[in-house]
Structure 1
């Protein structure tokens, strides 16, 4: 997994009815874009994450469309 500051991290829900969770990567702490990442959710809370196989990196920046 490779990410840059400003990318989005999407963690897919693990069971039926559980929604995806999207956070913004605010700092890359690993070498060469690898985890762990400091992330911020839509409420402004920050944490450090080492995402598992149920997560993907969305390289679109905030406000960009498909």
Structure 2
């Protein structure tokens, strides 16, 4: 998994009733776009995340990255 700042991470719900969760990648802490990532959700909460196989990177469009 490779990402850059400004990409979004879609984490699929793993159990019935658990919804998908989308967060913005605000910092890449690994080498060459690899995890872990510092992420921020819509409420402003920040966390360090090393996504598993239930996550997908949604790359930002060129020119729309935050940094």
Q: In which range does the TM-score fall when normalised by the shorter chain?
A: 0.7 to 0.9
2:15 & 2:30 partners in 1: Cα distance? 29
CA displacement 1:2-40 (0-9 Å, x = unmatched): 000000000000122211000000000000000000000
What is the match of residue 19 of structure 2? 19
- Runs of 5+ consecutive residues of structure 1 not aligned to the other structure: none
CA distance in 2 between counterparts of 1:15 and 1:48 reads: 22
Q: Secondary structure at the match of 1:32?
A: helix
1:38 is aligned to: 38
Q: Give me the TM-score of the superposition, normalised by structure 2.
A: 0.87
Structure 2: runs of 5+ lacking an equivalent: none
Aligned to 2:56, the other structure's residue is in SS state strand
The equivalent of 2:50 in structure 1 is 50
